[in-house]
Amino acid sequence: MNARSHDRPLFTVNFFLLFALVYLSYFSTDFLVPVLPLYTVELGGSEFCVGLLAGLFYTCSIIFRPLLGKKAGQTGLRPLLIFGSGLYCIAGLGLIFFPTLPSLYLFRSAQGIGWGSFLLAFNTLAINIAPPTRKGESVGILGIAFMGSLATAPWLAEFLQPYLVDYRLFFGLTVLTSLASLLLSLAFTEPPTDKADLPEINRLMFSKKAILPSMAILFLSLPFGATLTFLPLMGLERSFASVGPFFTIFSLAAMITRPLAGVLSDRWGRLVIFLPGLAIQFFSTLLIARAMAPALLLLGGFLFSTGISLAYTSLMALTSDLIPPQERTAGIATFTIAYDLGLTSGSILSGLVLLRLNFTGLYYLFAITSLLPLALLPALKKAIGQKPPPPVTF
């Protein structure tokens, strides 16, 4: 790696451009969180159909990501930002002009492909634009962008629901934010990379060195996928006036936790940050399971966000520690695919579980799955011992 990469600043025009386009891209998705479950039911779908819709979105994101990763090895990551934003925008137009349940599945699947392209580019660039000793900090600060979106977009959608009587108006607003993200992607300049750092894209875009942190984040993302998909319906079941404040509290907690987790994991070690995150998420799922009052749900959301933010940021940085630069794209793809697979599985399986259990039983099950990464702890310690992170300069 070029020695100059150790001295380059983190906060550049490129960094802030990436921050802005990440916020806008996530806004396009988060704005529909409280809308799509209700829209699906209005079109004649069941709770299972709601989970299936979310599952299709994430599944398409996963299936096409290896192909997109190969393309990144040939053309760079900036074209993936452009393609992802552009496809999301075009598919949003399809949602406006074809208001049927089959069309909803079709165009959300297309948006899933665009979303996968964008996520692969963003997560890799979050590492590539950072100095080697500030990778965790970069991941944490850029996390503020998409958590800032989750804090504002669902709340705004709920606020506008009494005024935007036609769901197509919601889709139109997401087309505008996707278009703004596309314009910023065109303005973004991908940082130069040394030849030694160019990704050697393997046939499957898979890195064995990233398996352990990827398995851990898969288990931890299961309840997050279910929450993003079914929280509006859980709010109706428990007679909550609004679930928008949950996402606001969730996001504010993440905006505080993620940058701090990144800096501390750079200085103290990845597992020192990961393990408290796992414990906090366990207790938060128990709290959400029993939350029959809005205040308890908000507290559960705050703790849930803190837990998964600590875990995600430290595990993403750990993934970067464990893989050589030439495998970085494949390693980050493996990690983000595992994360999205957890979101997908959480959405689809929750739809099936809710045919037999209520939301209380569902979150009790998620409390159990939150503890599964503990089985990986010995192997994670061994992997870290074999590949220590770079020294941190103060």
Q: For 274-301, give the DSSP string.
A: HHHHHHHHHHHHHHHHT--SHHHHHHHH
pLDDT band at 17 (very low <50, low <70, confident <90, very high): confident
Amino acid (one-letter) located at 196? A
pLDDT band at 205 (very low <50, low <70, confident <90, very high): low
pLDDT digits (tens, 9 = 90+) for 352-383: 888 888 889 999 999 999 999 999 988 888 88
The angle formed by the CA atoms of residues 67, 72 and 76, to the nearest 5 degrees, is 165
Amino acid (one-letter) located at 212? L
In the chain, the domains with their CATH numbers are: 13-189+197-386 (1.20.1250.20)
Among candidate residues 146, 354, 90, the one with its CA nearest the CA of residue 237: 354
Residue 336 has pLDDT above 50, yes or no: yes
Which secondary structure element, helix H or strand E, spans residue 263, and what is its range? helix 244-268
Among candidate residues 386, 351, 353, the one with its CA nearest the CA of residue 45: 351
pLDDT at 61: 80
pLDDT at 279: 94
Residue in the block written with tokens 């590949």: 387
Q: Provide the whole-model pTM.
A: 0.71
pLDDT at 335: 86
Q: Which of 95-99, 203-207, 372-376 has the lowest mean pLDDT?
A: 203-207
Tell me what the pLDDT averaged over the chain comes to.
Answer: 82
pLDDT at 193: 57
Those residues with Cβ within 8 angstroms of residue 203's Cβ, 6 or more apart along the chain or in another chain:
none
Span 159-180, mean pLDDT? Answer: 85
Amino acid (one-letter) located at 355? L
Residue 196 has pLDDT above 60, yes or no: no
pLDDT digits (tens, 9 = 90+) for 66-82: 777 676 666 778 888 88
Residue 285 has pLDDT above 90, yes or no: yes
Among candidate residues 244, 220, 333, 178, the one with its CA nearest the CA of residue 35: 244
Cα dihedral 195→196→198→202 (10° resolution): 130
pLDDT at 6: 52
pLDDT at 202: 45
- Our measurement of the distance from residue 245's CA atom to the centroid of its chain's CA atoms, rounded to an integer in Å, reads 19
Among candidate residues 13, 145, 17, the one with its CA nearest the CA of residue 78: 17
Residue 392 has pLDDT above 50, yes or no: no
Interatomic CA distance for residues 86 and 233, integer angstroms: 31
Could you tell me the two tokens for 150? 């989750």
pLDDT at 363: 92
pLDDT at 192: 66
